[in-house]
Chain A
Amino acid sequence: MSSVRPKLKPATPKVVTAWDASNGFTTYRTPSGDWTQNVAEAEVLTHEAADEALEAAKKDQTRATDPYLMEVTEDGKVTGRETLRESIRAEGPTCHPNYGRQAEVN
């Protein structure tokens, strides 16, 4: 695993994030088990449901690389100890506003 991240409490809202195996882009698991580059479309989970989603993601090797659980607010916004890191992953480099998802959105 290239990414060992802080352990989150069971009740903390979280999403499964990974890297797209083909292009390496940041990706999030949706309620249907698909993947999206938009964190707002990710499935927010807690407790065993989050662990089960992570286990399912680990088996989805052709689409997702190195999945892990990432903290979000109940309505799916990036938050917590790793807010800066995860915001950069979600949006793109702060020094290059023309690159990453931020470029598509803006």
Chain B
Amino acid sequence: MYRYDEFDEQMVRDRVAQFRGQVERRLSGELDEDHFKPLRLQNGVYLQMHAYMLRIAIPYGQLSSKQMRTLADVGEKYDKGYGHFTTRQNIQFNWIALKDIPTVLEELANVEMHAIQTSGNCIRNVTTDQFAGATAEEIEDPRPWCEIIRQWSTFHPEFAHLPRKFKIAVTAAETDRAAIRVHDIGLHMKHNAAGEVGFEIIVGGGLGRTPIVGTTVKDWVAKDDILDWLEAIMRVYNLHGRRDNKYKARIKILVTELTPEVFTKQVDAEFEAQRDEEKVRLPQEEVDRISDYFKAPAFETLPATSAAYEEAKANDEGFAKWTETNLSAHKVDGYTSVTVSLKPLNVAPGDATSAQMRVLADIAKAYSFDDLRVTHIQNIVLPHIKLDELYNVYLALDDAGLGADNVDLASDLICCPGLDYCNLANARSIPVAMEIQNMFSKYDRDLGKLHINISGCINACGHHHVGNIGILGVDKKGEEFYQITFGGRADEKARIGDIQGPGLRQEEVTPALERVAQKYLEIRQNSDEKFISTLERLGAEPFKEALYADS
């Protein structure tokens, strides 16, 4: 993975020292909250329902074991012994005292981490496919380009005060696990007709109160030109994006209002107008230098199958079942990628205790080339596990309460913190998620792959618009109601779900979803037909009838 050079190191250290001074001035009264707020937000510090919350950047979701151990330490020393992995592949701590935050940032800087680009109207942490560098599906590893974009965007003086926050996601696989079509910019690495690798650029996707699937503005651009294209897009947005209304300030609104055609013409004109000295021409040796950090680890030459693995499956039913859901194909024979579910029953989705983080760090160090990934589904990936050693990994995970065998099933839901933690939320998400998980647990594998996403307000941190079943918490005169959408998806066939009708009271949600599940079991063609496929084949009507059958 990428290692800081002396410039990165100095930049992060300086930022910590600067923020320490700002915190001291806030606590002494020299700075009032109105002046301090924009400063703290630039350092990932929010003020939530119960305490300050610190959001820490995990660039493109990748962590070393040392970094994961430091996060565990932060959780234990300065928080309540746990952290919450987010849908932006970051982590947040919900109970951090302001006075401690500079010291926390210092400890993070010791392991090349920070909280920059996790808040404010800047280009946020770049995200990518959690299986980058491990999956055979990708045409090349997207992480070097994520890192290049991170370096280009961090503290970019021209884009430090954008109309609104800006999110970029990158994938190099046809199967989109990074939800690139619902980001401000989605980059899809692909070949052109000549077989060269470049980028498809998708702009103007997003969720929130105006959910939109992005539009392809460039079918293919060369790697050499990608930063110039990004710069051209950012300039058009920075110049014309609305600053008068925060709800209309995202690039998706600009693209929609201008039309994608006009927006693209403006971007083309901006690109053409760039003078030679403005062009960001990365020397090939710099691209190579960064790419070197992401070189494949020293994989062994192994047979595609493993006798130890097969034997363990035959002898341990729990392990066998877990392998059905939590493994993904690896590009190298004899290896697999493990998704560790952070969705066991009765735990807030995405939460991990400090003890669990240490177990994950130990496993990564011992078995996965010191490599961990955070997924936007709020799970953790161990990307490179030998099949021969998989059973040991499973036993260690299971022993730590990390053996949930539900990846991609109905209980593997995305859930924002909701009203239990978030100052912006209108309704609770976590208790609803837990209740749904408990209900669906009795169906086990019967329902197959089904993505349920829950948000506690229209800001859509829980990605409800792109859940096969989406749940949005709303406040009606002080009472929580939940609006249901069907048919959303965040993958390469991205689609915004359709609202089905009036919101349900909290106590009605789980029974209603159970009726929907039963309807699916009744009308699907066979057990191979996923919920979303049945829905797309038959339309929402039968499911809607089931949803409101008790109303």
Given contacts A22-B99, A24-B98, A84-B478, contact A89 B431 (CB under 8 A): no
Q: Verify if A92 is at the interface (C-beta below 8 Å from B).
A: yes
Instruction: Report the interface size class on chain A.
Output: 20 to 34
> Which of B33, B99, B420 is close to A88, meaning CB atoms less than 8 Å apart?
B420
How many residues of B are in contact with the other chain, CB < 8 A? 33
A99/B80 in contact, CB under 8 A? yes
Q: Verify if B47 is at the interface (C-beta below 8 Å from A).
A: yes
B47/A82 in contact, CB under 8 A? no
B29/A95 in contact, CB under 8 A? no
Q: How far is the CB of B111 from chain A (nearest CB, A)?
A: 25
Q: How far is the CB of A93 from chain B (nearest CB, A)?
A: 4
- A89 CA / B32 CA spacing, docked (Å): 23
- A85 CA / B456 CA spacing, docked (Å): 12
- A61 CA / B431 CA spacing, docked (Å): 35
Task: Name the CB-closest residue of A to B417.
Answer: A93
For window 38-93 of A, CB contacts with B under 8 Å fall at 61-62, 65-66, 80-85, 88-89, 92-93
Q: Verify if B477 is at the interface (C-beta below 8 Å from A).
A: yes
The secondary-structure label for the interface of chain A is: loop
Q: Verify if B434 is at the interface (C-beta below 8 Å from A).
A: yes
Q: Verify if B548 is at the interface (C-beta below 8 Å from A).
A: no
Q: Verify if B50 is at the interface (C-beta below 8 Å from A).
A: yes
A88/B478 in contact, CB under 8 A? no
Q: Verify if B290 is at the interface (C-beta below 8 Å from A).
A: no
Q: Verify if A2 is at the interface (C-beta below 8 Å from B).
A: yes
Q: How far is the CB of A79 from chain B (nearest CB, A)?
A: 10
**Residues of chain B lying within 8 A (CB to CB) of residue A62:** 27-29
- A85 CA / B304 CA spacing, docked (Å): 54
**Residues of chain B lying within 8 A (CB to CB) of residue A25:** 50-51
**Residues of chain A lying within 8 A (CB to CB) of residue B29:** 61-62
Q: Verify if B430 is at the interface (C-beta below 8 Å from A).
A: yes
> Which of B37, B49, B348, B430 is close to A89, meaning CB atoms less than 8 Å apart?
B49
> Which of B47, B96, B419, B421 is close to A84, meaning CB atoms less than 8 Å apart?
B419
- Chain A 13-54 per-residue mask, 1 if CB under 8 angstroms from chain B, else 0: 000000101111110000000000000000000000000000
Task: Name the CB-closest residue of B to A100.
Answer: B50
- A8 CA / B49 CA spacing, docked (Å): 20
- A84 CA / B418 CA spacing, docked (Å): 12
Task: Name the CB-closest residue of A to B45.
Answer: A24
**Residues of chain A lying within 8 A (CB to CB) of residue B420:** 88, 93-96
> Which of B423, B428, B431, B478 is close to A80, meaning CB atoms less than 8 Å apart?
B478
Q: Verify if B508 is at the interface (C-beta below 8 Å from A).
A: no
B434/A95 in contact, CB under 8 A? yes
Q: How far is the CB of A20 from chain B (nearest CB, A)?
A: 9
- A1 CA / B35 CA spacing, docked (Å): 11
- A85 CA / B420 CA spacing, docked (Å): 8
> Which of A3, A61, A83, A84 is close to B423, meaning CB atoms less than 8 Å apart?
A3
Q: How far is the CB of A64 from chain B (nearest CB, A)?
A: 9
Q: How far is the CB of B425 from chain A (nearest CB, A)?
A: 9
Task: Name the CB-closest residue of A to B41.
Answer: A2
- A66 CA / B29 CA spacing, docked (Å): 14
Q: Verify if B26 is at the interface (C-beta below 8 Å from A).
A: yes
Task: Name the CB-closest residue of A to B79.
Answer: A99
Q: Verify if B166 is at the interface (C-beta below 8 Å from A).
A: no
A21/B26 in contact, CB under 8 A? yes
For window 456-507 of B, CB contacts with A under 8 Å fall at 477-480
- Minimum-distance CB pairs A-B, first 10: A93-B420, A24-B51, A24-B52, A62-B29, A95-B430, A23-B97, A81-B478, A65-B33, A61-B32, A95-B420
20 interchain pairs, CB-CB under 8 A: A2-B37, A2-B47, A19-B47, A21-B33, A22-B27, A22-B98, A61-B29, A61-B32, A62-B29, A66-B33, A81-B477, A83-B478, A84-B419, A84-B428, A85-B419, A88-B420, A93-B421, A93-B430, A94-B428, A99-B95
A residues adjacent to B (C-beta < 8 A): 1-3, 19, 21-26, 61-62, 65-66, 80-85, 88-89, 92-96, 98-100
